Chain A
Amino acid sequence: MSERRDASSNRRGPGGPMGHGMGAPAEKPKNFRATFHKLLQYLGTHRITILIVLILAVFSATFSILGPKVLGWGMTKLVEGLMAWQIGTGLLTDFDYIRNCVFGLLALYLISALCSYLQNFVMSKVSMKVTYQLRKELSEKMNRLPLKYFDRKTHGEVLSRITNDVDTVSLTLNQSLTQIITAITTLLGTLVMMLSISWLMTVVTFLILPISGGLIGLVMKKSQKHFINQQKYLGQLNGQIEEIYSGHNVVQMFNSEKAELEKFKGTNDELYHSAWMSQFLSGMLMPIISFVSNLGYVMICILGGYLAVKKVIAVGDVQAFIQYMRSFTQPISQIANISNTLQSTMAAAERVFEFLDEEEESPETDHPVSVDTVKGQVDFQQVRFGYTEEKIVIKDFSCQIKPGQSVAIVGPTGAGKTTIVKLLMRFYDLNSGSILVDGVNIEDYTRGDLRSMFGMVLQDTWLYHATIMENLKYGSFEASDEEVIRAAKAAHCDEFIRALPDGYQMVLNEEASNISQGQKQLLTIARTILHNPKILILDEATSSVDTRTEVLIQSAMDRLMESRTSFVIAHRLSTIKNADLILVMQEGDIVEQGNHDELLAKNGVYAALYQSQFSEGD
């Protein structure tokens, strides 16, 4: 659990504006261009739709830019009328003209809003389609990757690609893309309008821009450091809290509450310092922007007023210009924001594409051998294997198992007892050597066929969030309810299942914690019985199962093993003693093989293990 949380929190930081305030540093992708290109390819199928969206965005922006200008005309007419009346040369107000202005504006605003709605609607659809597609591909990819991949990555990392990273990409597609177009159009359009009113006033406006830009840059630069620190200390503090809370009994036992509180206060103070600094600095951006914009406003008021007095420009135009100037700063800060979002989106997209580009399992054989008549003979021939190239764990292993024989795999915890099993089912490919089932190299079966021969009952009982019936039918979906119940009876499940609230229809909760560990194990045995495999793989470890259930599990497992080739990760002495072949594992390698008496006579690792288990301990 904790690793999952780490993986996602490291990447994203805690939610809320505290971590994402203005001026917060964005995560950068390794290769912006390549990722961007890939993303474009993904959007390629929606090319036309996106083009329409862009055109709509341009329309929407253009129409709303025209607004102030038209309003300015009306205003000028109003003032002119007023002045004409004052000096007694004309009508009071040309209401027809003003009415036209108002209706024109009404049309402009409505069309602009309509374009906006349409554009958002279409873009939402496109981005959702792409998101859906990405998620689907990721989930399918997950099943095609070799298990090796998941040895290197935590579950949290994979999980956060499918949910968080895709979400980030989706959000950007949905908003930022059209925002960029709108911002650029607005910027250019506003500029044209401003120039058309007065080049002098435009120049003055542009004198102010560098001040604003410079100040913002300065604050951003200062605040970056504090934002990074804040993230750092927040991470540290979270780590401390998690550790102390989950180990609180130890803290209390060792009377370390005070010491831990002091340690906590230390980190907490560091966090406080960087938190308020970054909060303050990012909070400064707004007043700076509004002050500079006010500054411009005042200057234009003065200059515009002066020019209007001198009758160089119309009053309505001053009013329009002020509006343009106000809306001029908005797209600039928007573009700055978007470039930040774009960076982190590309970083997220990069992770998604990285996952999609991962090397998949080696391709299946072209001429698969049928598995229908398999008896269950297994040969290991000079098998050499390592989870990584550098660290070979199984060096040179050969043995033959006849149909119906049982193999016990023994060794201390962490000796790699499941490795053999994983090789047998081709979860990993060998470095060299070969494994044959009924004389056929397992690489000459399809993976699906090969695996369908095996039945697996592991200590880590995997069940999913569905009814018991569905869980039992897992892998044998076409089985009838009667068959399921027969299998459940064979696995001693039927009785307890019937005692559960909804019997076979009871839904297992997310952690499958509404039934006991032992019951879960019995269910997986029943599932395997229903599957009716040719070769069995069992893990006997039944820690955390109560005695009576354990007896049931053993008896069910024994029944399962009858007349089947079986590989047992053995813990029970009786299993080990009765096995046709014992494989003794140590540090990943098979160090001894033979039956019980042979190995005892050898007086090697097995003998030592056997004795330590039941000796006096002195």
Chain B
Amino acid sequence: MLKLMKYLKPYSLLIFVAISLLFVQAQCDLALPDYMSEIINDGILSGNSNEVIKNGVFMLAVSLISAASSFVIGYLAAKVAAGTSRDLRVSVFGKVEGFSNAEFDRFATSSLITRTTNDITQIQTIIVMVVRLGIYAPIIGVGGIVHAYAKSQSLSWIIALGVLTLVCVILLIFLLVVPKFKMVQGLIDKLNLVVRENLDGMLVIRAFNTQKFEENRFDQTNQTLTKTNLFINIITSSMMPTMMLILNLITLAVFWFGAQAVSAFNLNIGDMMAYMQYVMQIMMAFLMLSMMFIMIPRASVSADRISEVLESEPAVKERDCVIPLTDVKGRLEFHHVDFGYPGAEELVLHDISFTAYPGQTTAFIGATGSGKSTIINLIPRFYDVTSGSITLDGIDIREVSLHELRSHLGLVPQRANLFTGTIRSNIAYGEVSLTEEEMQKSARIAQAMEFISSKEDGFDTHIAQSGSNLSGGQKQRLSIARALSKRAPVYLFDDCFSALDFKTDAALRAALKQETGQSAILMVAQRISTIMHAEQIIVLDNGRIVGRGTHNELMKTCQVYEEIALSQLSKEELT
């Protein structure tokens, strides 16, 4: 939590002013009972109506000052909280943008999203709380005790008793309820799980006629949830009446013992009434404080999650002095590359060496988990190799800047991530200077022209978040067109053809061959037919190269390749 303090620094002046005003406000609020006491003592009891009016006017002025301070404090607190959270969001977002895949794996994308949104909102809330109440409540608490003590020492024990009871009751409720809260969260998750499973498996459930079974499964969780919630509800709803009861009893105690003090001339009646009000203020302050202490652990969890992100350094870093890349031909070489995911014990790639030549297609095939996509991910340095090296035109890719390296690579990832905007903005993503002609050419090669022109708005068709208004095949084709717009010397296709039907797949490969000319193409595929005609096919099994060559060569020499081929095609089609 303290680590994020520096984000408050730009607002230290505002915070200082706010704290000063909080003192003013607290002093004003504490002064009101004093004036009331004067009204009673010097006014009413002495029958002096001038005193009544005079003190009344003072009271009015004081409460006006209090309200004005409170206004300004609210303004400052809002500025500080919203400003800090804005700054935090930019920092976190900027940081995450620079993360390599290793950090994304470590944190998980969904967690990074909540850290940037909900967790920061949490911080914003606590800042407002702390500025408005966290500082105000102790001032009132202490000030109230001082004022009360000045009026009467003999009644102090009532305050002590009241505060003690209050704190005990709150503590007790927490001890009872907090573990149950966690339980409820777990039960709700479980309920959600059952419903989600029911929705996902609706066909299966109906096919097997297991509706009753599912309803029972739901019912069991529902019953436990209901019981636990009932307990929590009963406890929490009794909190307010209990607080009221304590406050009332304390007031009563002040009255009873105060009355005796008044009769013994140890206390005057106005002071006794003021005393009652102080007691109220003190109790309220403690109530507020305990509420704050519930919030703080939650906020501090959020703060830790945020600082964790901010303190992570991306595993992939640029060298201080980088070699500039000029006139890249696209000869990509792996030299004895080993790779293991950060933190994992086992290597996923063992001693991988190959050369991908410009103008040729190098294809990778193998079972799931054999390391095909991992090879592709090493090239743009989403991860760095564990040992060995990768060179582009003879230069180690770690020697050049990330920006330059990536600008020479055209990647089509497995999942076609499109961005909100239009078809145009997606194809021209990152390439602001792309001409209309070039864009249409990319779309044509990617076999996307047909569906784009069938849309009413053509290239200006709106794309919803993550391209959810397009089919899988359409997204994939746009993602291919986007990569082609880069006119890169090296293209990386990471298993992006499986979302396409065979016909489109074939047409696309034909067009690609024609148009990409001297670029080197690296391609990961599941289907033999997609890669059958590649100049070089590399067969992977458990992270090792177990065969390389053309289709015909491999059919003779590589057993793994033959197995894959036979599982997909019949004998006659393979020749």
A18 contacts partner chain B, Cβ-Cβ < 8 Å: yes
* A125 touching B230, Cβ below 8 Å: yes
Chain A residues numbered 210-262 whose CB sits less than 8 Å from any CB in chain B: 234, 237-257, 259-261
With contacts A113-B244, A276-B82 known, is A290 near B195, CB below 8 A? no
A175 contacts partner chain B, Cβ-Cβ < 8 Å: yes
* A121 touching B570, Cβ below 8 Å: no
With contacts A261-B93, A308-B44, A613-B529 known, is A155 near B226, CB below 8 A? no
* Stretch touching chain A among B170-178, B248-256, B352-360, B390-398: B248-256
A548 contacts partner chain B, Cβ-Cβ < 8 Å: yes
Closest A residue to B201 using CB positions: A462
* Stretch touching chain A among B142-150, B214-222, B340-348, B452-460: B214-222
* B417 touching A247, Cβ below 8 Å: yes
With contacts A254-B429, A264-B90, A309-B47 known, is A275 near B124, CB below 8 A? yes
- Identify which of B241, B510, B570 contacts A573 (C-beta below 8 A): B570
Residues from chain A with Cβ under 8 Å of B181 in the complex: none
Per-residue contact bits, chain A 281-307, to B (CB 8 Å; 1 contact, 0 not)? 001101110110011011101100110
Residues from chain A with Cβ under 8 Å of B81 in the complex: 276, 279
A78 contacts partner chain B, Cβ-Cβ < 8 Å: yes
CA distance A11 to B403 in the complex (A): 40
A543 contacts partner chain B, Cβ-Cβ < 8 Å: yes
The smallest C-beta distance from A222 to any residue of chain B, in angstroms, reads: 14
The smallest C-beta distance from A442 to any residue of chain B, in angstroms, reads: 14
Closest B residue to A277 using CB positions: B78
Residues from chain B with Cβ under 8 Å of A279 in the complex: 77-78, 81-82, 128
CA distance A609 to B218 in the complex (A): 46
A551 contacts partner chain B, Cβ-Cβ < 8 Å: yes
B70 contacts partner chain A, Cβ-Cβ < 8 Å: yes
Closest A residue to B256 using CB positions: A102
Residues from chain A with Cβ under 8 Å of B233 in the complex: 120, 124, 127-128, 174
For the complex, count residues of A whose C-beta is within 8 A of B.
Answer: 163
Closest B residue to A411 using CB positions: B501
The smallest C-beta distance from B79 to any residue of chain A, in angstroms, reads: 6
With contacts A124-B233, A139-B215, A573-B573 known, is A544 near B533, CB below 8 A? no
B10 contacts partner chain A, Cβ-Cβ < 8 Å: no
Per-residue contact bits, chain A 159-192, to B (CB 8 Å; 1 contact, 0 not)? 1001100000010001100000000000000000
B449 contacts partner chain A, Cβ-Cβ < 8 Å: no
* A241 touching B99, Cβ below 8 Å: no
CA distance A272 to B125 in the complex (A): 13
A333 contacts partner chain B, Cβ-Cβ < 8 Å: no
The smallest C-beta distance from B392 to any residue of chain A, in angstroms, reads: 15
B199 contacts partner chain A, Cβ-Cβ < 8 Å: yes
28 contacts between A and B (CB under 8 A): A2-B466, A3-B468, A60-B241, A71-B255, A120-B237, A128-B233, A132-B223, A132-B226, A159-B192, A240-B420, A243-B466, A245-B104, A249-B101, A250-B417, A250-B482, A251-B97, A283-B128, A288-B67, A305-B39, A305-B56, A306-B49, A413-B499, A452-B209, A573-B573, A609-B502, A613-B502, A613-B529, A617-B533
B411 contacts partner chain A, Cβ-Cβ < 8 Å: yes
Closest B residue to A153 using CB positions: B199
B48 contacts partner chain A, Cβ-Cβ < 8 Å: yes
With contacts A256-B430, A547-B367, A617-B510 known, is A241 near B116, CB below 8 A? yes
- Identify which of A15, A81, A143, A548 contacts B215 (C-beta below 8 A): A143
B71 contacts partner chain A, Cβ-Cβ < 8 Å: yes
Chain B residues numbered 528-544 whose CB sits less than 8 Å from any CB in chain A: 529, 533
* A102 touching B255, Cβ below 8 Å: yes
Among B45, B206, B207, chain A packs the most CB atoms within 10 A around the CB of B207
Closest B residue to A122 using CB positions: B234
With contacts A243-B419, A617-B507 known, is A298 near B230, CB below 8 A? no
CA distance A127 to B568 in the complex (A): 59
B208 contacts partner chain A, Cβ-Cβ < 8 Å: yes
CA distance A475 to B211 in the complex (A): 10
With contacts A121-B234, A245-B113, A305-B43 known, is A159 near B196, CB below 8 A? yes
Closest B residue to A159 using CB positions: B195
- Identify which of A78, A143, A613 contacts B262 (C-beta below 8 A): A78
- Identify which of B63, B241, B369, B472 contacts A117 (C-beta below 8 A): B241
Residues from chain A with Cβ under 8 Å of B48 in the complex: 309
| Besides the known contacts A74-B259, A127-B233, A261-B90, 5 further A-B residue pairs in the complex with CB atoms under 8 A apart | A95-B263, A140-B215, A294-B59, A298-B63, A315-B44
Chain A residues numbered 41-65 whose CB sits less than 8 Å from any CB in chain B: 60, 64
Residues from chain A with Cβ under 8 Å of B121 in the complex: 14-16, 18
CA distance A109 to B244 in the complex (A): 9
CA distance A315 to B240 in the complex (A): 30
* A413 touching B124, Cβ below 8 Å: no
A474 contacts partner chain B, Cβ-Cβ < 8 Å: yes
* B255 touching A75, Cβ below 8 Å: yes
The smallest C-beta distance from B172 to any residue of chain A, in angstroms, reads: 15
**Chain A interface, >50% SS class:** helix
Residues from chain B with Cβ under 8 Å of A261 in the complex: 90, 93-94, 97
With contacts A125-B230, A250-B413 known, is A290 near B70, CB below 8 A? yes
A106 contacts partner chain B, Cβ-Cβ < 8 Å: yes
CA distance A117 to B82 in the complex (A): 40
The smallest C-beta distance from A119 to any residue of chain B, in angstroms, reads: 9
* A71 touching B263, Cβ below 8 Å: no
Residues from chain B with Cβ under 8 Å of A302 in the complex: 39, 52-53, 56
* A614 touching B573, Cβ below 8 Å: yes
Residues from chain B with Cβ under 8 Å of A462 in the complex: 197, 200-201, 203-204
A440 contacts partner chain B, Cβ-Cβ < 8 Å: no
CA distance A159 to B256 in the complex (A): 57
The smallest C-beta distance from B67 to any residue of chain A, in angstroms, reads: 4
The smallest C-beta distance from A265 to any residue of chain B, in angstroms, reads: 6
Residues from chain A with Cβ under 8 Å of B49 in the complex: 305-306, 309-310
Residues from chain A with Cβ under 8 Å of B546 in the complex: none
CA distance A565 to B19 in the complex (A): 81
Residues from chain B with Cβ under 8 Å of A448 in the complex: 209
Residues from chain A with Cβ under 8 Å of B249 in the complex: 106, 109
The smallest C-beta distance from B300 to any residue of chain A, in angstroms, reads: 15
Among A71, A297, A302, chain B packs the most CB atoms within 10 A around the CB of A302
B193 contacts partner chain A, Cβ-Cβ < 8 Å: yes
* A16 touching B122, Cβ below 8 Å: yes
Residues from chain B with Cβ under 8 Å of A105 in the complex: 248, 252
B85 contacts partner chain A, Cβ-Cβ < 8 Å: yes
CA distance A454 to B208 in the complex (A): 8
Residues from chain B with Cβ under 8 Å of A268 in the complex: 86, 89-90, 93
CA distance A587 to B252 in the complex (A): 81
CA distance A608 to B503 in the complex (A): 9
With contacts A309-B49, A462-B201 known, is A16 near B125, CB below 8 A? yes
Per-residue contact bits, chain B 512-540, to A (CB 8 Å; 1 contact, 0 not)? 01000000000000100100010000000
Closest A residue to B72 using CB positions: A287
Chain B residues numbered 21-49 whose CB sits less than 8 Å from any CB in chain A: 32, 35-36, 39-40, 43-45, 47-49
CA distance A250 to B382 in the complex (A): 11
A269 contacts partner chain B, Cβ-Cβ < 8 Å: yes
With contacts A272-B83, A462-B200 known, is A136 near B219, CB below 8 A? yes
Residues from chain B with Cβ under 8 Å of A234 in the complex: 117
B422 contacts partner chain A, Cβ-Cβ < 8 Å: no
CA distance A298 to B58 in the complex (A): 9
A425 contacts partner chain B, Cβ-Cβ < 8 Å: yes
* A272 touching B124, Cβ below 8 Å: no
* A93 touching B96, Cβ below 8 Å: no
CA distance A315 to B39 in the complex (A): 11
B242 contacts partner chain A, Cβ-Cβ < 8 Å: yes
With contacts A16-B125, A253-B406 known, is A550 near B32, CB below 8 A? no
* A248 touching B96, Cβ below 8 Å: yes
* B569 touching A614, Cβ below 8 Å: yes
Per-residue contact bits, chain A 342-381, to B (CB 8 Å; 1 contact, 0 not)? 0000000000000000000000000000000000000000
* B230 touching A128, Cβ below 8 Å: yes
A600 contacts partner chain B, Cβ-Cβ < 8 Å: no
Among B118, B195, B262, B564, chain A packs the most CB atoms within 10 A around the CB of B195
